[in-house]
Chains A and B, each alone.
Chain A
Amino acid sequence: MTPAVSFKQVSRHFGSVRAVDAVDLDIGAGEFFAMLGPSGSGKTTCLRLIAGFEQPTSGRIEIFGERAEGVPPYRRNVNTVFQDYALFPHLNVLDNVAYGLMVKGIGKAERHREAETALELVKLPGYGARRPSQLSGGQRQRVALARALVNRPKVLLLDEPLGALDLKLRENMQEELKSLQKSLGITFVFVTHDQGEALSMANRIAVFDHGRIMQVGSPEDIYQRPNSRFVADFVGSSNVLPPDFVARHGGARRWASLRPEAVRIVDGEAGASGARGLEATVVSHSYLGGTTRLGLDVEGQRINALLPAGQPLPAEGQPVRVGFAPSDLHLMEEGG
C-alpha cells in the first residue's frame, strides 16, 4: 500500500543549521502518527515540509505516492491545525470554517451548510455567527479543527494542537481527536513535545533529536524498548544506566534503561524475585498524586523510583534496599 507520507533522505538546512537532516520516514494511510521531540529537534520543520510551508534542501517527499517538492501549500490536499489556531480575526466562525471551500469556489449556501456540519462534528453547532475573539481557547481549537476537516484532507497535520489548553481540556481533546481520527479514517500527523500525549494518542511515534529520527515504533516499542539513551531519557524520564553499572548487576557491558516504576523498595529479608536488593539512600521525594517519585542514590548512581500511592515511604536520607527484575533492565543498541 502507498504510504500517506513518505520522506526519502529529506534534509532542510537553514544556513548552517540542519533543522532536518537526511530523514527517512513512511507514514501509513489512516495512521495516527506522532512526531515527538524536544524543541528544535526538527519535528515541526518536518510537519511544515509536509504542509509545503518549507521546501526540502534535498531529498524527496511523496504524499500518497505523488511528488510534493516544489508544490505550493495551496495545491496540496493536506490541511493544518496550527499551534495558535491562526483563525481569521475578521471573519466569523462559520466563514472561518468555510474559508477553504470559499476559495475553491463553492457557493455560499453549500459551503455554509458544510461548515455547519463540520462545526457539529467538533461539537460547536450554532457557534457560526460568533467571532473567534469571543471563543475560549478550547473552542478556538475546535474551530481550527473544523476548518481543516471541512476540506476532507488526505492528511491532517496538527502542530502542538493541545499545547495551549489546560490539563482537563487537553485530556478531553485527546480522546476526541482519537475517536475522530478513527471514525474519519484520515491520516493524522501530529507534532508534540509531550511524551504522554504522544504515547496515549498515536499508533506510531517517531522520536526526533537534532534533525534526525532516533527511533520509530509503536508507543510500547518506544516506551519499553528504547534504542538509545536519548529516547530512554526523553520518553518517560527513564533511568539511563552506564555500562559499568549494568555489568555489575547482571547485564552485558552496555548502556541500559530502567523504568522508574520497575524499581521497588524491598525488605532485606524478603529478597523478592531472588534479588536481595541493593543498598540505596533516599535523596529526594516528589509527591505526584497517584504516585510518588523517589530519588535514590545507588552506589553513586542516581536512580528514580516511582512508587504507587499508599505504600509506606522512607524518609529523605534514610538507607533502604531497592530491587528490580533483571528482565526490566533494557539493554540499548548503542555501545558505551
Chain B
Amino acid sequence: MSAADAVLRPDTAGAILPDRGGLWGHLSDAFWRKPKLLLFLMLLPPVLWLGIVYLGSLFALLLQSFFSIDEFSGMINREFTLKTYAELLKPSNLDIILRTVTMAALVTLASAVVAFPIAYYAARYARGKWKALFYLGVMLPLWSSYLVKIYAWKLILAKEGILTWFFEKVHLQWLIDAWLSLPIVGGNSLSVSFTGTFIVFVYVWLPFMILPIQASLERVPGNLIEASSDLGANPAQTFRNVLFPLALPGIVAGSIFTFSLTLGDYIIPQIIGTSRLFIGQAVYAHQGTAGNIPLAAAFTVVPIVVMGFYLWGAKRMGAFDAL
C-alpha cells in the first residue's frame, strides 16, 4: 500500500469527532456556541480600564472644576460653584486659551499641508522596500525620547545654532532677522519665539498626521483618480473633488491628534518659546506650585470642549460621510 493510498483511504473515524475533553476542549465548545460570551470576556478588561480608570478620573476632574479655592486659606471649598469657570474669562487666562487654540490650529494646518504629499507618495507610489523605508522614516523619530528631540531642536534653533549658521553661509541671515523682528511671532532668536514653538510642535506631531492620511489614501482606489481624469478633471480638480474629500476622514483623524496634543502639551512651550504660558503650562502651574486644583481642572476642560466643537463641526461638514 502506497503512502497516497493511506492518506486518501476514507477515515475509519465517525462523521462526528469525539469531544476533545479537558478544560480547553469544553471552553472551546462553549465559546463556539455562545460567541457573545467570548466577546464579553475579551472586552471586559479594556472596558473596565477605560470606563472606570479613565472616564472615572475624567469625571473626578470635571467635579473638581466646579469647586473653588479659598483665596485666604488656600483650601479647596467643596461646594458647587461656577466661580472657577468665571476665572477662566479673566483677560490673563483668556489670553492663554486663545494663544493655545491659535497655536493648535496653526500647527494642525501646517501638519496637514506637510503630511499630505508624504502620505500621498507612500500610499500611491511607495512599494516594497520604499514602503518599509517610509514607515521607518515616519516612526523612527517616535522611538527616541521626546525630550531629547526637543533639546536637539533648541540647539538647532538657537542663535549660534546650525540653522543660523546655514542661513549665514547662503547669505540669507537677513531673512531670519526680518522674521524675528516681526511682532508676536518674532523674538531674540528662533528658540525663544513662538515661531520656534510652532516649528517644533509641527515636527513632533507630524507622524500622527501622516499615518492616518496615508491610511485613508491607501483606501482610495486608483481607478477613481483615473475616472476623474477621464471625465475631464485636471489634476487640481481631481484633488479638490475626489482625493481631498476621500482623504478628509484621515485628515480629521490626524488633526484630532495634532490639535489635542498641542492643546495639552506643556513641555515644548516651556523649553522652546517665550515665557508666555500655554494651557498645559497653566494646568501644570496651578495644580503644582499654586495648588489651585479647581482652576487647573477648569483649564483642562477647555481642550475637551474645544475638541467637542471641532468634531461636531467636522461632522457637520461631512468629514465622516465617506467612512
- The residues of A with any CB-CB pair to B shorter than 8 Å are 51-53, 72-74, 78-80, 82, 84, 86-90, 99-100, 102-104, 147-148, 151
Contacts and interface: CB of A to CB of B under 8 A. Distances in A.
A71 to B, nearest CB: 12
Contacts of B223: 82, 84, 86
A73 B238 CA distance: 12
Instruction: Indicate the size class of the contact surface on chain B.
Output: 10 to 19
Interface in B229-248: 229-234, 237, 241-242, 245-246
10 contacts: A74-B231, A78-B230, A86-B224, A86-B226, A88-B224, A90-B322, A99-B231, A100-B232, A103-B228, A103-B231
Contacts of B322: 89-90
B21 interface: no
Given A90-B245, A90-B321, A103 B233 contact: yes
A152 to B, nearest CB: 12
A74 B233 contact: yes
B237 A103 contact: yes
Contact of B231 (A52, A53, A151): A151
B235 to A, nearest CB: 8
A89 B321 CA distance: 9
Nearest to A98: B231
A84 B321 CA distance: 22
Contacts of B233: 74, 99, 103
Interface string B193-237: 000000000000000000000000000010110111111111001
B230 A88 contact: no
Task: Identify the interface centre among B224, B226, B230, B245: most chain A CB within 10 Å of its CB.
Answer: B230
Task: Identify the interface centre among B229, B232, B242: most chain A CB within 10 Å of its CB.
Answer: B232
A80 B230 contact: yes
Interface string B54-66: 0000000000000
Contact of A74 (B221, B229, B241): B229
A102 to B, nearest CB: 8
A36 to B, nearest CB: 22
Contacts of B226: 51, 53, 73, 80, 82, 86
Contacts of B234: 72, 74, 103
Contacts of A148: 231
Contacts of A99: 228, 231, 233, 241
Contacts of B221: 84, 86
A73 B230 contact: yes
Given A53-B226, A90-B321, 14 more contacts: A52-B230, A53-B229, A74-B234, A79-B231, A80-B226, A80-B230, A82-B223, A82-B227, A88-B242, A89-B246, A89-B322, A90-B245, A100-B231, A100-B232
B227 A88 contact: yes
A268 to B, nearest CB: 43
Contacts of B230: 51-53, 73-74, 78-80
Contacts of A52: 229-230
> Top 10 A-B pairs ranked by shortest CB distance?
A100-B231, A86-B227, A103-B233, A86-B223, A73-B229, A90-B322, A80-B230, A103-B237, A90-B245, A74-B229
A5 to B, nearest CB: 15
A88 B237 CA distance: 14
Contacts of B227: 80, 82, 86-88
A119 B128 CA distance: 43
A74 B229 CA distance: 5
Contacts of A78: 230
A94 B223 CA distance: 19
Interface string B33-52: 00000000000000000000
A73 B221 CA distance: 18
A9 B166 CA distance: 54
Nearest to A102: B241
Nearest to A51: B230
Contact of A90 (B231, B232, B237, B246): B246
A72 B233 CA distance: 10
B224 A103 contact: no
A151 B229 CA distance: 13
